[in-house]
Amino acid sequence: MYQLYESDSGESAGVGGLKTALPVVRDGFTPQQIDLGRYLFFDPVLSKDGTVSCSSCHQPDKGLSDGLKTSIGINQAKLKRAAPSLWNVAFYKKLFWDARATTLEEQMVGPLYSADEMGNTREQLKSTLNGIDEYRALFKEAFPEKKSNEIELSEVYHAIAAFESSLISLNSRYDQYAHGYPEALSKNEIEGLNIFRSFVARCAECHTPPLFTNQQVAVIGLAEPDGLPLDPGAQETYNDASLRGAFKVPSLRNIDRTAPYTHSGKFSTLREMIEFYTLGRGHEVATDEKLHIHWHIWEPDLRDHELDRLVDFLKTLTDETFSPRIPDTLPSGKPLQARDQAYKISSLNQ
């Protein structure tokens, strides 16, 4: 049913290139702005009490997520949703699981000033950074046209956006195969790709290459774990009851690194996540909920063998070539978080 692509000569070939174009990328940042953003990203000085950094929830060794079902914020607060990966956010037009932000700058002020996440205030953040001589010098280098020596919050957001826009992942083994190198994938992985693209499984209709997301929100009919009430998701963003339980379609890039899966971290493995889609449309929806499930969600009735091949294929989407380097020291003088330090040492020993 699922065949290798073949050239006129009868030899196995790749899929002949990407079938959809990449969106316009967020670009135009200087190296100094990107590197300043990298320091800020790993520096817990951005939080109210100096204990939480952006990298607390977006860890390089966990696909720029955090490996938790739902994230942990300041004072060990248990957050409502899982941390989404930051790979390829330079291409995104909607951010957060509920699609409530439309720019990286708009997105980042959420965690910075959320009482449960980083807990800071605009006044404290600006005062703290302006009290650090090394940061003042770095901001002057990153924004040489600025007339004041004072760090502005807009410059903080711009620098972090610059760094996050450098997190590009587009050179996986799948990409090499797609550009015509057939040996990049095994027979099982190619079979998985063909299942992924098929009108039976229909995975690619929402997880559209090359980003492996269509950047839309969708209701797939997930129940919340542990009997929690239904998270309304994008219903609140758009004030639209038809989007109750809708969440942004996540990219599958580096998906093998970002378990557990879904906005609530409900599934521990890729196999469990994929199996959800073949168990029947709306099979988890509570009887008192009338959700408008996306029309792509149906009952493909995939066999165990096909589910296994899909897992094989998804693992070919891993490309961490541009995984960020953790700074040796931070301009604030604060120590790296223990987890970041452990990862840095591990990377150096590889």
* Within this chain, domains 31-168+321-349 and 173-317 share the same CATH topology: yes
Backbone phi, psi, residue 261, to 5°? -115, 160
Residue 321 CA to residue 153 CA, distance in Å, equals: 30
Over residues 312-320, mean pLDDT:
98
Which pLDDT value is given to residue 349? Answer: 55
In whole angstroms, how far apart are CA 294 and each of 195, 233, 240? Answer: 20, 14, 14
Whether the CB-CB separation of 46 and 125 falls below 8 Å is answered with yes
pLDDT tens digits for range 131-151:
999 999 999 999 999 888 999
Residue 289 CA to residue 190 CA, distance in Å, equals: 39
Whether the CB-CB separation of 99 and 234 falls below 8 Å is answered with yes
pLDDT tens digits for range 45-90:
999 999 999 999 999 999 999 999 999 999 999 999 999 999 999 9
Reading the block at residue 291, the tokens are 């959700």
Query: Above 90 in pLDDT, residue 167?
Result: yes
Q: Was domain 173-317 assigned CATH 2.60.40.10?
A: no
User: How many Cβ atoms are within 10 Å of 257's Cβ, its own excluded?
Assistant: 21
Lowest-confidence region among 194-208, 235-249, 332-346: 332-346
Over residues 211-217, mean pLDDT:
96
Which pLDDT value is given to residue 14? Answer: 52
Which pLDDT value is given to residue 3? Answer: 45
pLDDT tens digits for range 268-305:
999 999 999 999 899 999 999 999 999 989 889 999 99
Share of the chain above pLDDT 70, in %: 91
Which pLDDT value is given to residue 147? Answer: 87
Query: Above 60 in pLDDT, residue 6?
Result: no
Residue 261 CA to residue 265 CA, distance in Å, equals: 5
For 186-216, letters b (16+ CB in 10 Å) and e give eeebbbbbbbbbbeebbbbebbbbbbbbbbe
| Locus of tokens 């938790």 | 68
Computed over its alpha carbons, how large is the radius of gyration of the chain? 21
Residue 202 pLDDT level (bands cut at 50, 70, 90): very high
Which pLDDT value is given to residue 85? Answer: 98
Whether the CB-CB separation of 169 and 268 falls below 8 Å is answered with no
Query: Above 70 in pLDDT, residue 344?
Result: no
Which pLDDT value is given to residue 7? Answer: 43
Residue 9 pLDDT level (bands cut at 50, 70, 90): very low
This prediction's pTM: 0.91
Residue 341 pLDDT level (bands cut at 50, 70, 90): low
Reading the block at residue 19, the tokens are 């079938």
Average pLDDT, the chain: 92
Lowest-confidence region among 159-173, 244-258, 298-312, 336-350: 336-350
> Domain ranges in the chain?
31-168+321-349, 173-317
Residue 138 CA to residue 135 CA, distance in Å, equals: 5
Residue 4 pLDDT level (bands cut at 50, 70, 90): very low
Whether the CB-CB separation of 129 and 45 falls below 8 Å is answered with yes
Which pLDDT value is given to residue 5? Answer: 45
Tell me the CATH class for 31-168+321-349.
Answer: mainly alpha
Share of the chain above pLDDT 90, in %: 85
E strand intervals along the chain: 217-219, 246-248
At residue 72, what is the residue type?
A: I
